[in-house]
Every structure is written in structure tokens, then in C-alpha cells.
Chain A
């Protein structure tokens, strides 16, 4: 059983979501350990994207706030390194395909593993490239979660 499956081993799990960098990356760094103390079993961290097609207005607005403060993938990985000094709470990233693709999907997945991110949700990945993500996750034992149905891109 992998780490992400263990989160659900007891049945229900408490999984709060925050958008990285909203309102600042420093606040994100504070929130993760605090959410663990508050009982979070898994924390889902959204990586803000300019075109968050899979979100409602609340997370869209959070993404815009975070991007306007200059957050980017490198800063989020650095923040995760910092967070890992304080907590080992399971974390899953919610990202959009273009963020992972432009960073280099292999490099992205490897960095996730380096900072002990156990899950990766790629909401907008379509079938042709999704397979590649899945394969790149396997060597690092990162759980790959498919969120949207085929045909949505």
C-alpha cells in the first residue's frame, strides 16, 4: 500500500485544500503545519495557473491572487522544502498540465518526490500526454490521480 492509500486506510479522510502562494508563500508555509495540527490527514496544495478551467470562482480568484504576488513552481518547491523541516503530513499537488509540461514533467515529478509530495493531480491532462505523466510518476512511487474525463482539455 502506498502512502496516499494509507491516508484512506481508516475510511474517511480530512483533506483541506489551499492554493500555494495565496495570499503569500510565507502564509502557505505556515498553514501546512497548522492544518496538520488541526487534524488534516492529507493536504491538497493547488499550484496556481493562469487558466484554471477546472476550478470554481473561489479557487480561480485564489489563483489570480497568488500569481499576482509572483508565485511560481520553483518558489512552491522551495516552500515545500521549508515545510518538510516541520511536518511530514501527506501532501498532494493539484496542477494543470501546462505547468507540469513546461517545467518538464520528469523533472517536476522528481522534485515532488524530493520534497515528499505523495500525490499529483493533473486536472487538465488529456489522454495522449497523460500516459507519460503516469509513467514518470511510477519510478518515484508518486500517486497519479486523474481528475477529469476524456475530452475535456
Chain B
């Protein structure tokens, strides 16, 4: 089974980084590779900063703390929603809860917490 990976010209896997532990990986699951190749899904990127803003936005407005992975989806939704009509519907999948991310979020925001 093949998939897509961040790699150099010689096939060496490149070091990667993400604020989200779940996304701190140089590849994607083969199912995503298949969905992309068959034009059934489109993939976009979101920065750490945008994800943090998405994380805080959902917590503040809905009282839901999304996993930092899912906060990337919130961040992208916030980018496209202003261009959409009022009667259009957006579904965001929150694949996990963000309680686990509060400490790393505090670290990112340079807030002192007692873990």
C-alpha cells in the first residue's frame, strides 16, 4: 500500500513539526491518499497560529474545546464561511476533545499552569 509523504529527492523522509501531536507526522493515511487521487476530497493546510485561533474561537463561542487536530478544521471553516451564502451548511468533524491539549495550548500561549 502506498501513500504520500514529505520527502526529499532521494526518498529520505523529511523532519516535520506541528503543534498537534496527531499531525506531527510526515505522511497521511493511505485512505486519504486514495480520496485525494480520486478527487473525492480536497486537502488544505492550516498554520499552528490559525489552529490555535480556531481552538479558542470554538471554546469561547460554543463552550466546546476541540482537539487541536480538529481545531485545524475549525480554522479552515472560519476562512471559507465568509464567502458562503447564509443558507449553505458547513459540517465540521470534531474528531477529538481538547481537554488533552490544554497544557500544550498553555505552553504555546506562554501561560503558567500547574499540570
Q: Which residues in A have some Cβ–Cβ distance to B below 8 Å?
A: 49-51, 67, 72-73, 98-99, 101-103, 126, 128-129, 153
Contacts and interface: CB of A to CB of B under 8 A. Distances in A.
Given A126-B1, A128-B1, A101 B11 contact: yes
Given A128-B1, A153-B1, A67 B12 contact: yes
Contacts of A73: 10
Contact of B10 (A102, A126, A129): A102
B7 A98 contact: yes
A49 B1 contact: no
Given A72-B10, A72-B12, A128-B1, 20 more contacts: A49-B11, A49-B12, A50-B13, A50-B14, A51-B13, A67-B12, A73-B10, A98-B7, A98-B13, A99-B10, A99-B11, A101-B11, A102-B7, A102-B9, A102-B10, A102-B11, A103-B11, A126-B1, A129-B2, A153-B1
A126 B14 CA distance: 21
Interface residues of B, dominant DSSP:
loop
A129 to B, nearest CB: 7
28 contacts: A49-B11, A49-B12, A50-B12, A50-B13, A50-B14, A51-B13, A67-B12, A72-B10, A72-B12, A73-B10, A98-B5, A98-B7, A98-B11, A98-B13, A99-B10, A99-B11, A99-B12, A101-B11, A102-B7, A102-B9, A102-B10, A102-B11, A103-B10, A103-B11, A126-B1, A128-B1, A129-B2, A153-B1
Interface residues of B, number: 10
Interface string B16-59: 00000000000000000000000000000000000000000000
A99 B11 CA distance: 5
Contacts of B12: 49-50, 67, 72, 99
